Structure 1
Amino acid sequence: MSINSYRRIVIGDVHGHYEGLMRLLEAIAPRSDDQVYFLGDLIDRGPQSAQVVNFVKESSYQCLLGNHEQMLLNILTKRIPTQTVQSWLYSGGQATVASYQEATIPHDHLEWLNNLPAYIDLGDVWLVHAGVDPSIPLTQQTADQFCWVRDEFHGIEQPYFTDKLIVIGHTITFTLPGVYPGKLAQGQGWLDIDTGAYHPRSGWLTGLDITNGIVYQVNVLNKSIRIMPLEEAVTNINPEQIYFGRRNRCFA
């Protein structure tokens, strides 16, 4: 396999698994001329959200806004009903609070999170946390669509972009029809690399070298590492099956 010296590397939802992230980056071994991107959801569920945020913030890597970062920011900056706060805590927020030993999230972390972009356009690849709403023009969509959309995006029958691959996280791949834990999922013009690092059915954290079509994975549960060509790691999704599988969907 011919490997290009310059690589574009995308990392799926870390969800507070700092040690797993360090092992993944050790396997990928990014060089100074590589570009590394995170798809958001650095925080919640896992035990070391503070460490993950601090590492990515202090690195030269780019990161997107995920729905878990959006929930945190909304809770801290808006008048949010108590029920919504409790929902966030139940969805992994309590682990994030606990990871900050002073139980206070530093201002520089919050400012950095607040300035994360909702998407990154790389020309032939479009990075976003959850996807896009295919029924709404791109210019009319907000962070709510980019951070939260699910079935209506996964079920599209034609690519949203004719010249770009959309790479997403947000929805754990094994919750999509026919996808086994640890596998990536590919639909019409999109590729999902959230393999469920926090989930007991999976534990896989994924990094994708888009340039060379190589998938790097670390299992945060048993610490195993595997590297494989993209074509061996991906399962193709039939859009007609999406709506029939709603009740099995994991809201990550």
Structure 2
Amino acid sequence: MGRTLVIGDIHGGFKALKQVFERAEVTEGDQLIFLGDYVDGWSESSQIIRFLIELSGKQRCIFIKGNHDAWCEDWLSFGGGPDVWLFNGGKSTVESYNGYSSEDLELHLEFFQRMKNYYVDENNRLFIHAGYSSMHGPEKEVYSSNYRWDRTLWETAVAMDKKLQRNSELYPKRLLLYHEIYIGHTPTQDIGICHPVNKANVWNMDTGAAYRGSLSVMDIDTKEFWQSDPLPALYPQERGRNNDI
């Protein structure tokens, strides 16, 4: 049996994905779980989707849908997108699709449509892009958009007293539902850390690849992780989603 590797937000950084796969020595025997936000930011969003489609034909992959992926799916479906998307990396995604045939666009759309909102493995580990607010778990979530937008799950884990035990009546009920929870969406740089972070039983894998950070891959059993170079170093002529460089 190979490893189970979880991959954080990529945001169009195909160079980073290839580099971190090399550093992690990914093989076809590994199971790969992607936490979403494959597109929007750096210039190679469409190339990433093409690569992932091909990769899924070679080994077991699970693709979670992020908020940026939902925006891109809408654009592929209807030919337009909101200004907020274009200003937050969507413009580079649209440009990366220049020259694609209608057949290729349809193939990519189908790939987005097949992505999961979340995934729970046989060891009761949850993989979701952002979070959920229901104390009964994501399957009871009233607003499905929380799968891709919620930050309160991570904020709760970060704010918890480290001395609080799982058997305490004060322990957040929604965290007790799973052995571990893996998320992206909220950069770890928000709390001053540039590598995958564990708070309570939540692991945050978004290490800021959309901005000045790196792309991260982690073995969920051993907790060993690998990172690419910071994305601005791999795309020195681009801004990604940075507004100040």
TM-score normalized by structure 2?
Answer: 0.78
Q: Distance in 1 between the 2:216 and 2:70 partners? A: 22
Alignment of 1:173-252 (within 5 A): 173-176=188-191, 179-180=192-193, 182-200=194-212, 202=213, 204-219=214-229, 220-222=231-233
Q: Name the CA distance, whole Å, in 2 between partners of 1:37 and 1:153.
A: 19
Change (3 A) 1:20 1:152: closer
Amino acid at match of 2:187: I
State the Cα distance separating 1:132 from its structure 2 match.
1.6
Q: CA deviation at 1:210?
A: 1.1
- The percent identity for this pair of structures is 27
AA matched with 1:85: P
Q: Does 1:14 align with 2:10?
A: yes
Q: Hey, what does 2:62 align to over in structure 1?
A: 62
The partner residue of 1:90 within 87, 103, 106 is: 87
Structure 1 residue 97, shift from structure 2 partner: 0.5
CA separation in 2, counterparts of 1:17 and 1:212?
Answer: 26
Higher RCO, Cα 8 Å, sep 6+: 2
Q: Spell out, residue by residue over 1:182-220, the C-alpha distance to the aligned partner (whole angstroms, 9 max, x if none).
A: 1222222211010011213x2x11001112210100123
Over the residues paired in the alignment, what is the CA RMSD in angstroms? Answer: 2.3
> Taking structure 1 as reference, are residues 76 and 50 closer, same or farther at Cα in structure 2, changes over 3 Å only?
closer
- 2:120 is the counterpart of 1:129: no
- 1:111 maps to a residue whose letter is E
**Aligned length in residues:** 211
Q: Which residue of 2 aligns with 1:52?
A: 48
| Alpha-carbon spacing, 1:44–1:32, altered in 2? closer, same or farther (3 Å) | same
Segments of structure 1 that go 5 or more residues without pairing to the other structure are 224-252
| Corresponding residue number in structure 2 for 1:72 | 72
Deviations 1:104-125 (A, max 9, x none): 7711101110110011111332
Q: Cα–Cα, structure 1 residues 128 and 14, in superposed 2: closer, same or farther, change >3 Å?
A: same
2:178 maps to 1:168 = no
Instruction: Report the Cα distance in structure 2 between the residues aligned to 1:58 and 1:211, rounded to whole angstroms.
Output: 26
Change (3 A) 1:35 1:149: same
Contact kept in structure 2, 1:46 and 1:92, CA below 8 Å: yes
Q: Contact (CA 8 Å) 2:39, 2:69: kept in 1 or not?
A: yes
The two structures have a TM-score, normalised by structure 1, of: 0.76
What is the one-letter code of the residue matched to 2:199? G
Q: Which has the higher strand share?
A: 1
- Residue matched to 1:247: none
User: Gaps spanning 5+ residues in structure 2: where?
Assistant: 161-171, 235-245
